[in-house]
């Protein structure tokens, strides 16, 4: 009997009704005699979480066993490709597991001393940034993660972490090594220098202004807003209220205008991708909720789903977004059309990863 698989259904985003076959971990549309029918429905390239921290929790690096549980939770939710936007743990061993999502790593966060979450990043001074960027570019898979802003205890508010000359040197170093750079940014003040230095992507982006949004569009800078994570801003404000009232007020202001800010970025044409920010304070497996929240900002269902599937794969330079002949067999099958109702994404019918039915 053939070990090949067969799936019948509508392939998104093309909308074509097809019979898809899987053999040796690859997709083919050439019929294979004896292939086992494993699912029927709507077929979508494996979902992408473009901001997810496998190997990390709110205290820092976690065990391999916990990393495995995190990766499985994402996989079972349909996330088969993760851009791990900073982790203190070495998760390279996951690459040898056929049953766990593919991971694109950004190495470890690069932060200033006492200017980020304890045990998360390398805490360094500006003159050390190029050397550490080179190190993390080598450790990662084509991305480096900077902490662009964080609370400054001297000013009591969000403030940029890096001077422009350090950012230029660091980002140039990454680009010379074929890596792209992204940065955590809550406020506005860090963004002009990051844009001037040639940053490739911004995480969160709640401090964006109309002028900065125009810059993002003209420079082709992507945005991963982590919309679900932004719901925690009031909690962060409350935690800092006693010692840092200015910071607390700033976080509440950013929270109050978050939807307006992100909607303006989308309407202006900023390329936006889905990321849950799981692995810090949030659990894994939230990609369906994040896609719905992108749609709530004004994206069409096709735009929102594409931001977590075919568009995200193209942006990350990974094949398979359109499920073409010869593509890796990483896809999810749903009982109904998610373009009609994104709530369908919370209930995958079948998950196929590296040509293996995992769920």
Mean pLDDT in the chain? 97
Token look-up 């009997």 returns 1
Measured CA to CA, the distance from residue 330 to residue 175 in angstroms comes to: 29
The neighbouring-strand residues paired with 23 are 26
Using DSSP, state whether 222 is helix, strand or coil.
Answer: strand
Residue 2's pLDDT is 67
The neighbouring-strand residues paired with 272 are 223
CATH 2.30.40.10 fits 5-44+321-357, yes or no: yes
Measured CA to CA, the distance from residue 181 to residue 137 in angstroms comes to: 9
DSSP 127: G
Residue 359's pLDDT is 76
Q: Which residues of the chain register pLDDT less than 70? A: 1-2
Q: If you write DSSP's letter for every residue of 296-333 in order, what string do you get? A: HTT--HHHHHHTTTHHHHHHTT-S-TT--TT-B--EEE
Residue 1's pLDDT is 47
CB 83 within 8 A of CB 50: yes
Phi, psi of 223 (to 5 degrees): -135, 130
pTM to 2 decimals?
Answer: 0.97
Angle of helix 210-219 relative to helix 258-268, nearest 10 degrees, comes to 40
3-state percent helix, strand, coil for the chain, nearest multiple of 5: 35, 25, 40
Measured CA to CA, the distance from residue 356 to residue 341 in angstroms comes to: 27
Phi, psi of 339 (to 5 degrees): -70, -20
Measured CA to CA, the distance from residue 98 to residue 257 in angstroms comes to: 42
Cα torsion at 127, 128, 130, 132 (round to 10°)? -170
Angle of helix 129-139 relative to helix 164-176, nearest 10 degrees, comes to 30
Element (H, E) at 84: strand 79-84
CATH superfamily of 47-315: Metal-dependent hydrolases (3.20.20.140)
Q: If you write DSSP's letter for every residue of 12-32 in order, what string do you get? A: TTTTEEEEEEEETTEEE-S--
Element (H, E) at 150: strand 149-152
Going by C-alpha positions, the residue among 35, 29, 38, 34 that lies closest to residue 11 is 29
Fold agreement (5-44+321-357, 47-315): no
CB 179 within 8 A of CB 227: no
Measured CA to CA, the distance from residue 191 to residue 206 in angstroms comes to: 11
Going by C-alpha positions, the residue among 12, 27, 40 that lies closest to residue 4 is 27
Domain ranges for the chain: 5-44+321-357, 47-315
Phi, psi of 226 (to 5 degrees): 50, 60
The verdict on whether omega for the bond into residue 13 sits within 30 degrees of 0, i.e. cis, is yes
Residue 250's pLDDT is 97
Radius of gyration for the alpha carbons in the chain, expressed in angstroms and rounded: 20
What residues have CB less than 8 Å from 79, skipping those under 6 apart? 46, 47, 48, 49, 52, 101, 285, 287
Per-residue pLDDT tens over the stretch 280-302? 889 999 999 999 999 999 999 99
């Amino acid at each position: 009997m053939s070990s090949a698989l067969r799936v019948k259904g509508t392939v998104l985003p093309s909308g074509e009704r097809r019979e898809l076959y899987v053999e040796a971990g690859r997709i083919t549309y050439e019929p294979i005699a004896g292939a086992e029918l494993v699912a029927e429905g709507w077929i979508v390239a494996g979902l992408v979480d473009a901001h997810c921290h496998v190997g990390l929790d709110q205290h820092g690096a976690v065990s391999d066993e916990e990393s495995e549980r995190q990766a499985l939770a994402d996989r079972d939710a349909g996330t088969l490709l993760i851009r791990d936007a900073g982790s203190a743990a070495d998760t390279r061993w996951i690459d040898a597991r056929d049953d766990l999502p593919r991971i694109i790593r950004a190495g470890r966060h690069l932060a200033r001393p006492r200017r980020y979450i304890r045990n998360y990043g390398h805490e360094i001074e500006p003159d050390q940034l190029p050397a550490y960027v080179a190190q993390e570019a080598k450790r990662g898979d084509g991305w480096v993660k900077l902490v662009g802003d964080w609370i400054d205890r001297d000013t009591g508010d969000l403030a940029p972490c890096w001077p422009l000359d350090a950012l230029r040197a660091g980002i140039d170093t990454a680009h010379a090594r074929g890596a792209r750079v992204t940065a955590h940014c809550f406020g506005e003040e860090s963004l002009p220098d990051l844009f001037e230095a040639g940053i490739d992507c911004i995480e969160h982006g709640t401090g964006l202004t109309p002028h900065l949004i125009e810059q993002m569009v003209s420079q082709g800078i992507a945005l991963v807003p982590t919309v679900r994570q932004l719901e925690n801003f009031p909690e962060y404000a409350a935690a800092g209220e006693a010692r840092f009232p200015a910071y607390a007020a700033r976080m509440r202001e950013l929270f109050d205008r978050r939807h307006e800010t992100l909607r303006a970025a989308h309407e202006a044409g900023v390329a936006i991708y889905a990321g849950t920010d799981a692995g810090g304070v949030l659990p894994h497996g939230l990609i369906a909720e994040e896609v719905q929240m992108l749609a709530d900002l004004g994206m069409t269902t096709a735009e929102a789903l594409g931001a977590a599937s075919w568009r995200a794969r193209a942006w990350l330079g990974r094949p398979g977004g359109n499920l073409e002949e010869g593509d890796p067999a990483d896809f999810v099958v749903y009982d109904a059309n998610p373009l009609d109702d994104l709530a369908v994404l919370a209930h995958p019918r079948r998950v196929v990863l590296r040509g293996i039915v995992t769920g």
